[in-house]
Each structure stands twice: as C-alpha cells, then as structure tokens.
Amino acid sequence: MGTPRKATPVGQAELHVDGRVLNLPVVEGTEQERAIDIGRLRDQTGLVTLDYGYKNTGACQSEITYLDGEKGILRYRGYPVEELAEKSRFVEVAYLMVHGHLPRAGEQQQFSELLTRHSMIHEDMTQFFKNYPERAHPMAILSAMVVSLSSFYPELSQDHVSEELAHIDITATRLLSKLRTIAAFSYKKSIGEPYVYPRHDLKYCANFLNMMFSSPVRPYVVNPVVEKALNTLLILHADHEQNCSTSTVRLVGSAKVNLYAAVAAGICALWGPLHGGANQEVIEMLEDIQRQGGDTRKVIERAKDKRDSFRLYGFGHRVYKNYDPRARIIKQTCVDVLRELKVNDPLLDIAMELEERVQNDDYFKERKLYPNVDFYSGIIYRAIGIPVDMFTVIFALGRLPGWIAQWKESQEDADFKIQRPRQIYTGPTLRHYVPIDQRG
C-alpha cells in the first residue's frame, strides 16, 4: 500500500489568543470530514489542547475504515460492512484490510495457503498452557502467548520491523492463524480437555470451531449456518476506526516494537468491560433480568433513574448517534442461528422486548441510544457453545486484521512519530525537601 494519502488543505481557521491571531490549516478527507491541523500550535503559542478521551482529536490520517456515527455508516476500505458481511468471508476481509483491495483468485489462494502453513504453534508453546492456573482468564493467556511469539520468531523483532513490512503476508497470516489456534487451546485448557490441532482441509472459521468443540470421544460436525455466523461476527469486528484497542496498537507500535508486542497490548486494552468486554456485560445483565422475573418495564425505569446505579448495557455508543449498522446484521444472524440449532433462549426474547421498549421511549430517543454491536452477539456465542469468558477472545480474533492493518499503515506513514501526548499539570508548585524529623 505504501504511505497513506494525506487530507487536502481546504482553508484556514483563525485562533485568537492573547491578542494574537494564528492561522491554522483546515484539511479535508475523502468523505468531506474536516479537521483543524494544530501540529504547530505549541511551537507558535506555547499552548496545547486539552481533550479528555480524545473526543475531538484526530490522532492520524487513515485509509482503512470510514465511520459516520450520525448516519450509521461503516465501511472497510470503501466497502460497506453490510455488503462484506453478506457476500464475503473473514479471510477475504482480512486480506482487504491489510492490502487495501479484495484479493484476486491467485492472491486469495496464496493467502489461504499461508494461513494453513502457519496454523500450528511451536510445540514448546503448548507447555506454557500447562503451567497457567486452572482458572486463568483466556484473555490473559491470549495476550501472554501472543507476545511470546516474538521469542519463537526472533527474526520478526523490533530490530527488523522493516522486514515485517516487506513480508507482511507471512507476518499477517502467521499471527492470524496462530492466534486462532492459541484461542482454541486456551479454551481447551480451561475445561481440561486435550488440544485439538488445526486441520488443513477446513476453512478458517470451521477450523476454529473444530479446535474448540471436537474431542476424542465426540467428533464435531461443523454446521454451515454456525460457520457463516462466525464469519459474519468476525467481519463485523474487523476494524472500527481509532477505538481504544486500535489506538493502543498504534501508540505501542509508535515505539517501533514488533507487531506481536503491539497486538498483545491491543488485546489487553480490548479486555476492559468498557470495550471488548461489553458483550459479556450484556449477557450478565440479561441473565439478571431473567432471574428477577423478566420485567423489562422495571429495567427501563431503573435505567432512567439517575439515583439508581443500574446500567443498561448494549445501548448507545461513543461514536454512533444512529442505529449501529453491525447491530442490525447481528440481530438477524442471532435469529438465524437459534432457529437452525432449534434453541429457545429466553434471553433473546428479553433482548428483543428490551430493544422495542428502548426504541419507543422518548428518554432514549432524545439521547439517541440504539442497540450496539454487543447487544445480540453474546446470545449467538451462547447458542454456539462459547462460554462467557471466551467472548472477548472471539472479539480479538475478529479485530486482529484491523490491528495489523493499522500497525502497518502507521509504520509506513511519512509523518511517523513516536506518540507522546501532553498534559496540563495541576499538582503542587515548587517545594523543597524537608528531613523526616522536621515534617509537621
């Protein structure tokens, strides 16, 4: 792909401060998003900007994902996520994210062959699993194992980042394929079953399902509807602009660490309940509603009561002020999977009733709170047989192509710099050391 294209200068903005007028460039992206370039602000004025949570700050220019939260638009490399979820497969989307175009037949075949070739993990790494505590969280295992890959493949270290970029197909497929194996092995470790090794005759998602659920006494037969659902879920999680974990990958990567270290940091960021752990919070909330009788009207009232500590998970999003396009797809996928597997999950009934009440309540409509991607995904995972503590692991598996693409793009950017935000200091002013026997 090379260096990402830059936004176009379209004008200037005036900043009036301390009797001075500073002209700041205004730039525009390909989807008419505009930004004020403050790159020289501190040099010219001594000032910095203060923006908690970076709600108004663009940290980079990127060609990977376009998101319009007001209109409910999400596109990967220009392709609507709805089209990709319907017509594509996760491996094809992974190639798209990394390379910027959909693969041709030969490119697809080569990429798939590399995924198969690199699906095994070094046998010595299996010893690591045996030494984790029985109740170790799969995300802790996943992040540790990913950063450990740099020990087994030292040729892809921070001293050779340029080689990683030159051989990005090998780097990407090695990580995509081995992360899938590590994820499945971590699940097997948690339930005390023997590991199931990847098979060359199964596609990416089918292979993962087989490694998760097959056993010596009960071979697993992959259901095409379940395989399609997993493909869809992974596609919908593939990237989401500069979110917490993606920004972490870019931030850590800006120190010129290897891809494994940057992705391990992203996994840790994704683990948080306000990010990738949100679908687990939704399931636990729905289960709690069920235990208390399933009265969704009471839930709505509690959510609106500012004195109540109850939080309604699965609604609203930092960016979307419209219906999350991913949520519509996942809702239908959820219905399809439960129908195929003949699962009657009362949590789906509670979720759909809750969504209807929220959408018809002025309180939520005024605040533009709509179901997000986490609201129905956990119900699908439950139906497939994936336990709650593996939900975020699946999210990480889906988000991996985006992390790789974002890391690659940042390393190739001509304006690459180590990321180092400023702060406004609010601590004590100058004071001097006092010996301990003189302190009051």
Q: How confident is the model at residue 155 (pLDDT cuts 50, 70, 90)?
A: low
Residues 334 and 266 in one domain: no
Residues 263 and 292 in one domain: no
Separation between Cα atoms, residue 184 and residue 387, nearest integer Å: 12
Range of 321's domain? 278-384
Pairing of strands 8-17, 79-80: unpaired
Burial (CB count <10 Å: 0-12, 13-18, 19+), residue 266: buried
Residues 250 and 317 in one domain: no
Separation between Cα atoms, residue 402 and residue 176, nearest integer Å: 11
Q: How far is CA 219 from CA 147, 191, 215, 216, 228, in A?
A: 32, 17, 6, 7, 20
Three-class DSSP category at 438: helix
% pLDDT > 70, the chain = 97
Token couple for 154: 């030292």
Separation between Cα atoms, residue 150 and residue 234, nearest integer Å: 25
Token couple for 173: 């497929």
Burial 304-328 (b: 16+ CB within 10 A, else e): eeeeeeeebbbbbbebbbeebbbbb
Q: What is the pLDDT of residue 320?
A: 81
Residues 145 and 226 in one domain: yes
Q: What angle do CA 111, 171, 121 make, to 5 degrees?
A: 90
Q: What is the tens place of the pLDDT at every residue in 377-400? A: 999 999 999 999 999 999 999 999
Least confident of 152-161, 170-179, 306-315: 152-161
Residue 166 has pLDDT above 70, yes or no: no
Last residue of a domain, one of 271, 288, 316: 271
Residues 191 and 326 in one domain: no
Q: What is the pTM of this model?
A: 0.92
Residues 24 and 170 in one domain: no
Q: How confident is the model at residue 158 (pLDDT cuts 50, 70, 90)?
A: low
The answer to whether residues 337 and 380 touch, using CB atoms and an 8 Å cutoff, is yes
Neighbours of 182 (CB within 10 A): 26
Which of 362-369's residues contact partners 24+ apart within 8 Å by CB, and which partners? 363/304, 364/315, 367/316, 368/316, 368/321, 368/322, 369/315, 369/316
Q: At what angle do helices 90-99 and 391-412 cross, to 10 degrees?
A: 20
Residues 195 and 257 in one domain: yes
Pairing of strands 8-17, 20-28: antiparallel
Residue 434 has pLDDT above 70, yes or no: yes
| CATH number, residue 145 | 1.10.580.10
Annotated active-site residue 317? The verdict is yes
Q: What is the pLDDT of residue 160?
A: 61
For the chain, the straight-line distance linking the first and the last C-alpha, in angstroms and rounded, comes to 64
Last residue of a domain, one of 369, 384, 399: 384
Residues 198 and 330 in one domain: no
Q: What is the pLDDT of residue 9?
A: 95
Burial 101-135 (b: 16+ CB within 10 A, else e): eebeeeeeeebbebbbebbebeeebeebbeebeee
Separation between Cα atoms, residue 51 and residue 205, nearest integer Å: 40
The answer to whether residues 410 and 250 touch, using CB atoms and an 8 Å cutoff, is yes
Q: Is 425 part of any domain?
A: no
Mean pLDDT across 56-83: 95
Q: Is 72 part of any domain?
A: no
Q: What is the pLDDT of residue 163?
A: 66
Residues 207 and 286 in one domain: no
Residues 90 and 198 in one domain: yes
| Residue among 135, 149, 239 at smallest CA distance from 191 | 135
Q: Is 410 part of any domain?
A: no
Q: Is 435 part of any domain?
A: no
- Which residue's entry shows tokens 């948690």? 190
Q: Is 267 part of any domain?
A: yes
Name residue 74's beta-bridge partners.
67
The answer to whether residues 190 and 169 touch, using CB atoms and an 8 Å cutoff, is no
Q: Is 409 part of any domain?
A: no
Q: What is the pLDDT of residue 396?
A: 97
Last residue of a domain, one of 359, 384, 409: 384
Token couple for 105: 């037949």
| CATH number, residue 31 | 2.20.28.60
Neighbours of 64 (CB within 10 A): 25
The one catalytic residue among 239, 324, 374, 413 = 374
| Residue 34: φ, ψ to 5° | -115, 150
Residues 34 and 94 in one domain: no
Beta strands in 308-401 (DSSP E): none
Q: Is 253 part of any domain?
A: yes
Q: What is the pLDDT of residue 314?
A: 86
The one catalytic residue among 118, 317, 324, 345 = 317
| Residue 218: φ, ψ to 5° | -145, 85
Residues 299 and 357 in one domain: yes
Least confident of 1-15, 192-206, 423-437: 1-15
Residues 6+ apart with CB under 8 A from 13: 23, 24, 26, 36
Token couple for 56: 């108004």
Annotated active-site residue 374? The verdict is yes
Q: What is the pLDDT of residue 370?
A: 86
Q: What is the tens place of the pLDDT at every residue in 331-368? A: 999 999 999 999 988 998 999 899 999 989 999 989 88
Q: Give how many domains the chain has, as a whole number.
A: 3
Q: Is 228 part of any domain?
A: yes
